[in-house]
Amino acid sequence: MSELPTSNSEISETLQDSLRKQGITRRTFLKFCTTVASAMALPPSAAYAMAETLVKTKRQSVIWLSFQECTGCTESLTRSHKPTVESLIFDFISLDYHHTLQAAAGHAAEEAREQAMKDNWGKYILIVDGAIPVKDDGVYSTIAGITNLSMLEDVAKGAAAIVSVGTCAAYGGLPKADPNPTGAVSVGDIIKDKPIINIPGCPPIPVVITGVLAHVLTFGIPELDDKGRPVAFYGESIHDRCYRRPFYDKGKFAKSFDDEGARKGWCLYEVGCKGPVTYNACATTKWNNGTSFPIQSGHGCIGCSEPDFWDKGGFYKALPQGQWGSAEGIAAAAVAGAAIGIGAAAMAKSHQESEGESS
């Protein structure tokens, strides 16, 4: 992981210089780009374009603000037993401010943030995790005596783009759950004049965070859906890519977590799985170095990457009757699911073609 830059010359060095100092070879770098391109369903040629572009760029200044959150998003990205491909992203950026990861504390930490803002005004990327409390002028969460609301508004002014990492920053998440005592809101509820990329999830998948950052550094802001999420990772529902989908199509459901259906690995829809209405890459990218994802471990999807997922009626209640629940609804859902799958494939193809042209 990169240390805080100690001088302007260190900030202004190219990524190529930086990689050389750290003993990271071009082959390692190309492997990183290939992995990211594959995860984002970009054409293989995009990996080479990404590698060529990235090495010539200056290390991108990144300011990471953590507000009303649990640090799970940072943990997701950093807490692996060994260095992973995902964590290599820290060698490619200049992480100028991050409460949890930086060595500096107190006034020195805030000075580092102010200096980074001054040196890179209009160019830095602002990453936010956590919701922002706005009730009572935002007094419920402060850093160095500054409210989260005030700090966000201040830092966002000089940002080239904002990345909201985690459901709290993207949609308000858990802090916003009813009765929302602190008046928590998302980044997008406050900042209206900057491009915002949402990477929801509680927490988000590490390679999704890395992939989006690498895309921003090379090709710019990726194609987003109507909720501000990158289509490459959030273009299809958990349900559409779930390996238990064939059981759903055949109408075979677990009725409880200890019945025959559960033991046989049937669809978890009737025990509350929110896969049909949740868009994320868990079913394909998976967790813990690709080991598994909740449904594979026998628990339904709780829909953690969707807005207001805490207030949608309970994790163990089947989705509302009439929408998916009746036999007719299930049959309709199967058809709709297939249609969504085709639509997403077409969208992904169009996305790939446009990336191919740009590369």
Partner 1 sequence: MSLSDISVKIKEQPTGMAYAVLHELATNLEQLLDTAEENTIDLRSLPMNEADREELAELLGRGEVDITLNTIGSSRIFETAFSGIWWVTHYGDDAMVLSELIEVAKVPSLIPTHTDEISVALQRIQQVSTQAMMESKDV
Binding residues (CB under 8 A) for partner 1: these are 16, 20, 25-28, 30-32, 34-35, 37-39, 41, 43-45, 48, 80-85, 88, 289-292
Closest to partner 1 by CB, 180 vs 296, is: 296
Closest to partner 1 by CB, 31 vs 157, is: 31
> What backbone phi and psi angles, to 5 degrees, belong to 24?
-90, 120
> Nearest distance from residue 84's CB to partner 1, in Å?
6
> Nearest distance from residue 269's CB to partner 1, in Å?
21
Instruction: Look at the block and give the residue holding tokens 């302007």.
Output: 8
Closest to partner 1 by CB, 85 vs 93, is: 85
> Nearest distance from residue 319's CB to partner 1, in Å?
27
Closest to partner 1 by CB, 25 vs 326, is: 25
What is the total residue count of the chain?
Answer: 359
Among 203, 205, 175, 210, which Cα is nearest to 189's? Answer: 175
Closest to partner 1 by CB, 14 vs 180, is: 14
Distances (CA, A) of 45 to 101, 218, 308: 34, 13, 38
Closest to partner 1 by CB, 175 vs 211, is: 211
Closest to partner 1 by CB, 60 vs 284, is: 284
> Nearest distance from residue 281's CB to partner 1, in Å?
12
> Nearest distance from residue 71's CB to partner 1, in Å?
23
> Nearest distance from residue 85's CB to partner 1, in Å?
6
> Nearest distance from residue 44's CB to partner 1, in Å?
4
d(CA 331, CA 248): 9
